[in-house]
Chain A
Amino acid sequence: MRTNKNLAYHVLALFVIAATMLAACGGGGGAGSSSDFDWSTATSAADGGGMDALIAAAQAEGMLTTIALPHDWCNYGEVIEAFKAKYGLEVNELNPDAGSADEIEAVKANKDNKGPQAPDVLDVGFSWGESSKAEGLLSPYKVSTWDTIPADAKDAEGFWYGDYYGVLAFLVNTDVQPDVPQDWADLLDPKYAGQIALSGDPRVSNQAIQSVYAAALANGGSLDDAQAGLDYFSELNATGNLIPLIANNGLVATGEIPVRITWDYNALAAIDTFEGNPNATVVIPATGRFAGVYVQAISAYSPQPAAARLWQEFLYSDEGQLLWMKGYCHPIREPDLRARGVIPQELLDKLPDVTGAVFPTLDQLTAANELITRNWDTAVGSDIK
């Protein structure tokens, strides 16, 4: 009896050890490319033998890993579905709510990781393109429609390229707040006490940083002086109108955040999603119309280099550009699409009027970014009440 018991213990112990060792040997390997060509070195589809070769290589990889693409942002949900349907690839979507800094962090953190946690492609705020290029995190690539992308919205070597833009707007839940603000200055009115929120943390989110920058334009600042934006938000915070909750459309719908500062395309998409419940409206502010450009780039450590390149080709094709437009975004190739008359009239009619929107230069953006991320803490104060 005793010996049996001892034996049982030994068997059990050995079993546990074996299981532990097996568990430690887990992990997976990525699929290799079927052709001999290394797509991570391709700076255009032609380098690897043209589009057909690219499609074949991407299909051999079988998957694309994206990050920070909410489905209601620029119609990305449909863009991803269309890409899947067209090429038969899986799309592995990481953290849809990440900010630009989080995306860059994900690339850095997964440099040596060829698994599903490493993003292939990025969609980041304009100023992150240049800084990531400087850090060696990007892989240059020029899509077939390269020449129709405006020169001031792309890196000459193809490390990053503008993809779409919009202006900052207010999404207002009119069931909760029927009194719709028309401009930045209106937000300081006491009737908006505890009702206004940004769409991110201005230390990591491009959308939030640029909201602060935009406010500067309407408050005596300029593209060269973002400090006025910090002062404005400092005041908005002091009046108690700004709440620290990070806004999303769900919180706008419940009325928890009646006024959300966000890109016009996000606000317009939200109204479609609400379908009248609640009633909401989008305000393009009367002054301080600030155009924010986002850029696409391919990670230098992309585990699926061919799929990453195919994704860019798709986004910059007429089809991809029009899908973005369906989500109220101004695609970067809009001038070319207009000139060739390929935009359906109903899409044109849906785009908001953003006359007078200003585009900061890269240097201005970088300086403003630095200023805002550094001083946000002190501007709103880690206040305790």
Chain B
Amino acid sequence: MARVSPTNGFKPSASWKVWLGVVPFFLFAILFLLLPSFRLLTASFSTPEGAFTLDNIRQLFTEPLIVNSYRLSIQISAVTALGGGIFGFLLAYSVTVGGLPKQLRSVLITFSGVASNFAGVPLAFAFVATLGRQGFITAVLKNIFNLDVYASGFNLYSFAGLSLVYMYFQFPLMVLIMAPALDGLKKEWREAAENLGANTTQYWLKVAMPVLLPSILGSMILLFGNAFGAYATAYALTGGRIGLVTIQIGAQIRGDVLYNPGLGYAMAVGMVFIMAVSLTGYSLLQAKTERWLK
């Protein structure tokens, strides 16, 4: 936090006083983000007794249970990012460009703001009450439409069921991110395209998609990261039976026979790495989109 050079866009007269207001923020970031991350990194190289070891990092790539947990986490994050992304995009499109009534838009945005933050145990049990074996929707389908979803193979307490639950916070997030991007599609572009003789398909292929694609992909990456870190929802719904990375970390640090916090830390470092890659991808793609949305 030394003196700020004029090139940084600050007024040359700016002195240390300018920084006073952001001190709490930096303090917070150092104490609650930087230090713990650093601790995570150092701890992943130590045994439960505190000696240096490379074992934990090696196990990330060799222990079948752990490799499998990464595979599972990536799988569920990818599936729900793609599904939630497509569904969320279509919803956002229909209320922005699609010409649905304006009131509907504010309703959807408000709902998305709430639903995208609905997670953990309450979400799991809301789904149990809705789509569980004795859930409300299950009962309605069974008694009114004579459709027994459980007899026909659906099971809430499975990978598919968990994906469905994740979708509930995935697609609203997509709506929230995509709505402003879709607002940036200027009417004039479409008019210009039509005046030059383009049909709808051509307009979408040549104009709208190239503008929107980075934003769609970027948002899906964000959705991926959003699902990747979820823990409580999965634990409440499947009692740790679907071994996502987060659940395996929990098993390592909740201590019993499996007690090896170092390995838990190493797995967390692996997660941080995957998140860092996906967030980098997100910002690169966002930067591409920004050009059009000015």
Chain B nearest Cβ from A247, distance in angstroms:
9
B57 interface hit (Cβ, 8 Å): no
Chain A nearest Cβ from B83, distance in angstroms:
16
Chain A residue with the shortest CB-CB distance to B23: A17
With the chains together, A105 CA to B261 CA distance in Å?
Answer: 12
B240 interface hit (Cβ, 8 Å): yes
A254 interface hit (Cβ, 8 Å): yes
Report chain B residues within 8 Å CB of A204: 251, 254, 256
For A179-199 the 0/1 string (1 means CB < 8 A from B) is: 000000000000000110010
For the complex of A and B, 7 pairs with smallest distance between CB atoms: A13-B20, A244-B241, A382-B243, A101-B256, A384-B159, A373-B257, A255-B134
A380 interface hit (Cβ, 8 Å): yes
A374 interface hit (Cβ, 8 Å): yes
With the chains together, A229 CA to B147 CA distance in Å?
Answer: 36
For A243-258 the 0/1 string (1 means CB < 8 A from B) is: 1111000010011100
Contacts A194-B133, A255-B134, A382-B241; is A101 near B72 (CB within 8 Å)? no
With the chains together, A9 CA to B20 CA distance in Å?
Answer: 9
With the chains together, A160 CA to B129 CA distance in Å?
Answer: 41
Asked if A194 contacts B150 (CB within 8 A), the reply is yes
Complex partner residue of B157 from A12, A16, A200, A244, CB under 8 angstroms = A244
8 Å CB contacts to A: which residues of B37-81? Answer: 65, 68-69, 72, 75
Chain B residue with the shortest CB-CB distance to A14: B20
Asked if A245 contacts B237 (CB within 8 A), the reply is yes
Asked if B159 contacts A244 (CB within 8 A), the reply is no
With the chains together, A240 CA to B133 CA distance in Å?
Answer: 13
For B169-190 the 0/1 string (1 means CB < 8 A from A) is: 0000000000000000000000
Report chain B residues within 8 Å CB of A12: 21
Q: How large is the interface on A (under 10, 10 to 19, 20 to 34, 35 or more residues)?
A: 35 or more
With the chains together, A201 CA to B235 CA distance in Å?
Answer: 10
8 Å CB contacts to A: which residues of B148-199? Answer: 150, 155, 157-160
Report chain A residues within 8 Å CB of B254: 101-102, 105, 203-204
Interface size for B (C-beta < 8 A) is 38
Chain A residue with the shortest CB-CB distance to B138: A256
For A240-281 the 0/1 string (1 means CB < 8 A from B) is: 100111100001001110000000000000000000000000
Asked if A203 contacts B242 (CB within 8 A), the reply is no
B128 interface hit (Cβ, 8 Å): yes
A377 interface hit (Cβ, 8 Å): yes
Complex partner residue of A373 from B20, B24, B128, B256, CB under 8 angstroms = B256
With the chains together, A380 CA to B239 CA distance in Å?
Answer: 12
Asked if A9 contacts B256 (CB within 8 A), the reply is no
Which residue among A101, A108, A176 has the maximum number of chain B CB atoms within 10 Å of its CB?
A101
B6 interface hit (Cβ, 8 Å): no
Complex partner residue of B257 from A10, A254, A256, A369, CB under 8 angstroms = A369
B291 interface hit (Cβ, 8 Å): no
B258 interface hit (Cβ, 8 Å): yes
Asked if A245 contacts B128 (CB within 8 A), the reply is yes
Asked if A244 contacts B133 (CB within 8 A), the reply is no
With the chains together, A101 CA to B150 CA distance in Å?
Answer: 34
Chain B residue with the shortest CB-CB distance to A206: B256
With the chains together, A240 CA to B75 CA distance in Å?
Answer: 23
Report chain A residues within 8 Å CB of B23: 13, 16-17, 20
Asked if B21 contacts A9 (CB within 8 A), the reply is yes
Chain A nearest Cβ from B227, distance in angstroms:
15
With the chains together, A244 CA to B253 CA distance in Å?
Answer: 21
Chain A residue with the shortest CB-CB distance to B256: A101
Asked if B160 contacts A17 (CB within 8 A), the reply is no
Asked if B242 contacts A244 (CB within 8 A), the reply is yes
